[in-house]
Amino acid sequence: MEQDVAALSRRRFPVFTSERGGTASLVTGATGFFGAALVAALLERSADEVVCLVRAPDEERARKRLLTHLDRHVPQVRGQFGRLTALAGDVTDEHLGLSGAALTALTARIGRIFHAAADVNGSLPYAALRAGNVRATLHLCDLAARSGADLHHISTTAARTDAADGIPLEHLPSGYARSKWMAEQAVAAYRRSLPAARVLIHQLGALSAHTASGVSNPADFRWLFLRACLDLRAAPLMEGGLCWLPVDCAAAAVAAVALAPDADAAGLPDPLPVTATGAVPWHDVFSWLRQDGHRLGVVSPDGWWRRLDARLRTGQDEHLLALAALAPALPAARARGDAAVWRALAALAAPETPFDRPRLRRSLRALACAP
């Protein structure tokens, strides 16, 4: 990391010399959980074309992969898929996996870049995530510099640190958090190099299922934990709560800020925290589950982990194995969102949507977790 920080201080970005003419939005990571919701939000809030860079051998298979993913996650915008363009590419490549002609055409076509692609893995070291999270971000900064497009970098509260200077390794325990922090430093270096560019970092907190479809991220630690509670028919005694923001609410916030012509006058902070302002106490979450017919006993945290270990010795449930592969710690509420930020976002027609019992029920139904 130290070498990467030093390299950023010496890095030079391309200089944009032409008038910006493009209006399309470029989205990376559109086949991810948040990326799908973001594409839907852009289609709903703008009449502009949305171009998605998709990892695939060719454009036909890129489009098929993109539409299959969107059809599952955001079927409510199926009628607007005609405004989507899929490009087969790779954000880890210096030229984004595009030919010279295709990259030139893309540069002239776009007015906004939403970089949501990332390698999300809490167990891998920084070195293994550097290409997908740090170098890829630099490549999108280069594209923004060449095109003059606004750059919206999708980050995470995991990269948040109170350290005033230096490399805050003690505040960033995982390789993933360190790689996202370094990606933010890359964006900051780009902003310093081209101060006239419009650049904003969006730090997302924990995201729950889409309000309309009920589709969630099945690999999310909190979902893995809740599903394990249902399988074990046991809920541990826990303090704190579930600090979750519906993914479509977060996507609407990012899209609203990017598309509003007067968003800069709203006084929003940078990085922009896009996180829930409140946490639902775990006691309430477990009560909702019981009221909906799920059998949940009460055990100590140590007893809960022992039950999980015992279950794993008798079966190979995929989601239980995924949970056991993570650190033996129960999910805790993250830093809460800023109410003033959400008031400003509400003025841009992107109010906060609270996570509640009906949304939990819909999500469990989508995951086929019936009582």
For residue 93, what are the contacts with CB-CB under 8 A and spacing of at least 6? 139
Q: How many Å apart are CA 13 and CA 165, to the nearest integer? A: 23
Q: Which of 247, 183, 300 is nearest to 40 (CA)?
A: 247
Mean pLDDT confidence for 248-259: 96
The domain limits of the chain are 2-204, 221-242+279-332+356-366
Please give the mean pLDDT across all residues of the chain.
89
List pLDDT tens digits, range 24-48: 999 999 999 999 999 999 999 999 9
Mean pLDDT confidence for 128-143: 97
| Residue type at position 108 | A
List pLDDT tens digits, range 171-180: 788 899 999 9
Describe the crossing of helices 282-291 and 357-366 by its angle, rounded to 10 degrees.
Answer: 60
Helix (H, G, I), strand (E, B) or coil at 366: helix
The answer to whether 39 and 30 are in contact (CB under 8 A) is yes
pLDDT at residue 56 tops 70: yes
Q: How many Å apart are CA 162 and CA 254, to the nearest integer? A: 23
In the CATH hierarchy, which fold is given to the domain comprising 2-204? Answer: Rossmann fold (3.40.50)
> How far is CA 107 from each of CA 26, 43, 143, 177, 310, rounded to the nearest angstrom?
10, 21, 7, 30, 55
Binned at pLDDT 50, 70 and 90, residue 349 comes out as very high
Q: Which of 59-63, 279-283, 350-354 has the highest mean pLDDT?
A: 59-63
Q: What is the pTM of this model?
A: 0.93
Mean pLDDT confidence for 173-201: 92
Q: HSE (CB half, 13 Å, CA atoms) of 56? A: 20
Kindly give the pairing relationship between strand 207-208 and strand 245-246: parallel
The answer to whether 136 and 98 are in contact (CB under 8 A) is no
- pLDDT of amino acid 323: 76
The answer to whether 110 and 22 are in contact (CB under 8 A) is yes
DSSP 69-137: HHHHH-GGGGGGGGGEEEEE--TTSTTTT--HHHHHHHHHHEEEEEE------SSS-HHHHHIIIIIHH
